[in-house]
Amino acid sequence: MVGLVLFICLLSSSIAQTNQNNNAAANTAARAGSQTTASSLSSIITSTLSNSGVFRYRFGSNESSQSLNASASQTPSKDGFGEFSGGLAAGDFSNWSAWATPVVSTYKNNIQPYTSNGSVLIAMGGLEYNYDDILTSGISAAVNDTNSTTTYNNGTYKTVGLTISPYAVYQINNYLTLNSSVGVGGSNPNINVAGVNSTTTYNSLFGVIGLSNNTAMGNFLLQPKLSYTYYIDKLGAYTSGSGQYNSAYNTYLGQTQVGAQVSYDTKMGFQPFVAAYEFVNTWNSNQLATTAPSVYPSTYRVAAGVNASNGTFYGTVSYQIERSVSQFRIYGGILF
């Protein structure tokens, strides 16, 4: 009788641990979506005074605002988005602008034990207001389609989510830019483990504040950057299609980033760039005692890519690697 009781207790413990880890495995895929959204938005809004790398329409004109100030010095930023070292002259244009861009991203996370890989597709757009070419504030909406394999448990994670993000960019002077944004998102992911489909809830929150500098050296541009990002990601408790209960899993990640990018203007319509950053991470979760962290205390990031434009077409290809993580991104579109 005692042996039977011990067997039941061990079996229950094993099932609980498996269920707990299913949500932990899904967390890495969920964070891929929120982190891609946050970093893409930061790159876009820091180019808010240049209108490069996204389609941006400034009301009051029949053309895109790309041509607002031909005398400004355009340069590529971290993910290939452009930046002006000076502000734009508003002229007869309205202070209101609308912008939009697609993002295609693939990733591979080899951080043990909760490994995953997949893709994140984002359609992002926003509406913003420019205050005397010094302060720009706005709000964006991003629809992301995340499709991942959670290799830890031979499962999949699929969802389409929406993130709403107010943001602001302050041009301190011709060289320094301060940016901040907050994003609130949610979705109802489908999680499949061992052929069993289940649905749960996912809620995300991120906050970003960053400071960047532009230093031109002939055709080269040096862009040091310092930023802090905080992510909250919550996967709700659910009962799988086979009747097994999975505990809620909430994670809290803080990232301090410091580094720089160097880009080169070829004067032929494309600008190659390389970047190197160091990240210091703080991690917490509601299952910290039983579930291993999904990030390292610190990691490097090295990125390289090319920003190109020709007439109405623009595009950017970039590849970045971190410790046990890699990501490939493509931005592109038409300027009307």
Q: What is the CATH number of the domain that holds 103?
A: 2.40.128.130
Structure confidence at residue 152 as a pLDDT band (50, 70, 90):
confident
Q: How many Å apart are CA 309 and CA 319, to the nearest integer?
A: 18
* Lowest mean pLDDT, pick from 86-95, 171-180, 263-272: 86-95
Structure confidence at residue 190 as a pLDDT band (50, 70, 90):
very high
For 220-265, how does the pLDDT look when each residue is reduced to its tens digit (9 = 90+)? 989 899 999 999 999 999 988 888 888 999 999 999 999 999 989 8
Q: What phi, psi does 4 have (nearest 5°)? A: -65, -40
Return the higher-pLDDT residue of 133 and 107: 107
> CB atoms < 10 A from the CB of 293, how many?
17
Whole-number pLDDT of residue 267: 85
Q: Are 168 and 140 in contact (CB under 8 A)?
A: no
> Which residue from 261, 295, 299 is spatially nearest to 280, judged by alpha carbons?
299
Q: pTM for the whole thing?
A: 0.81
Q: What phi, psi does 290 have (nearest 5°)? A: -120, -10
Q: Are 78 and 297 in contact (CB under 8 A)?
A: no
Structure confidence at residue 97 as a pLDDT band (50, 70, 90):
confident
Over pLDDT 70: what percentage of the chain? 76
| Number of domains comprising the chain | 1
For 166-179, how does the pLDDT look when each residue is reduced to its tens digit (9 = 90+)? 999 999 988 899 99
Q: Are 170 and 135 in contact (CB under 8 A)?
A: yes
What is the chain's Cα-based Rg?
A: 22
> CB atoms < 10 A from the CB of 206, how many?
26
Asked if residue 313 has pLDDT above 80, the reply is: no
Whole-number pLDDT of residue 30: 92
Whole-number pLDDT of residue 327: 84
* Lowest mean pLDDT, pick from 13-22, 161-170, 304-313: 13-22
Q: Which domain holds residue 295?
A: 2-334
Whole-number pLDDT of residue 87: 34
Asked if residue 61 has pLDDT above 80, the reply is: no
Whole-number pLDDT of residue 174: 85
Whole-number pLDDT of residue 312: 55
Asked if residue 191 has pLDDT above 90, the reply is: yes
Contacts of 32 (CB under 8 A, 6+ apart): 107, 109, 116, 118, 120, 146, 148
Longest dimension (CA), the chain: 87
Give the helix, strand, coil percentages of the chain, each rounded to 5: 15, 55, 30
Whole-number pLDDT of residue 91: 42
Count of all residues that appear for the chain in the document: 336
For CA atoms 63, 68, 74, 77, give the dihedral sign. negative
Whole-number pLDDT of residue 18: 43
Q: How many Å apart are CA 68 and CA 58, to the nearest integer?
A: 9
Return the higher-pLDDT residue of 270 and 285: 285
Whole-number pLDDT of residue 137: 94
Return the higher-pLDDT residue of 232 and 268: 232
Pinpoint the alpha helices (H) of the chain.
2-45
> CB atoms < 10 A from the CB of 35, how many?
21
Mean per-residue pLDDT, 58-76: 42
Q: How many Å apart are CA 103 and CA 331, to the nearest integer?
A: 5
